[in-house]
Amino acid sequence: ADPETEAALLVAMKDEDAGVRARAVEAGGRFESRALREELMYAISDPSPLVRAEAVLAPHRWSTSAEAAAVVDSAIANVASKAPAQLRTERWGLPKRGELVPEAEDLEVIWRALFTLERRKSERARSVFHLWARYPGSVEARIFANRGIAALSSKTPECMQALRESLADVDPRVAVEAATGLGRFPEAASLPALEAACAHTSTQVRVAAVAALGEFRGHRESARALLQKRLVDDSAAVRGEALVSMSKL
């Protein structure tokens, strides 16, 4: 982030080569310069998915208390709310391809946008997190959408339902994030899903579900009954987490 390179980066962000633009955007995201950050916000609509992917990732390094933070969140959420394939049609007049479902290059942009919004704990991304939490075409999108829900300051019925459904995801990494989210917002309706997760074939999912139950202080007896069963789990990690959660309760 050498300030003497700012002028050169601004030039490189307009280079004809998408690879050069992408690297300039990546570097520019580490600066505090207003001029560079304005260019980065323009870059989220770049024709190249390589550049867009770097542009939506950059704001995860920026302060959420900085000037125009809400505008930044809104812009990134807008990218994630519609596949860039659709943006290509709407903004550049390119022909439609299929039903405008996200393509591989689009999903790379989208999961990075979700990562940024999760890191920024963006309330403006609530509907976007819900949109992608169960999307079958990208495990990364599901991971960061569920992490995003868990990072929010409050819950909604829709988001809680998404977390419960995600607890049964085919990818254990998604289920782990969902369990963490259910522990973040403990409510009785989540206990059946957590009970099922406590018997998951993945040790990591069982550990996460047991850890979540330790947050259910408002439903101590029900949570303690589920934890009691995990004290004889085959995994020492699960047994240890069960002891920790029981002590919390």
Angle at 170 between CA 169 and CA 172, to 5 degrees: 80
Say which residues have a Cβ less than 8 Å from residue 23's Cβ, sequence separation at least 6.
12, 54
Q: Which of the two residues, 3 and 25, has the higher pLDDT score?
A: 25
pLDDT band at residue 88 using 50, 70 and 90 as cut-offs: low
pTM of the model: 0.87
pLDDT in tens, 33-62: 889 999 999 999 898 889 999 999 999 999
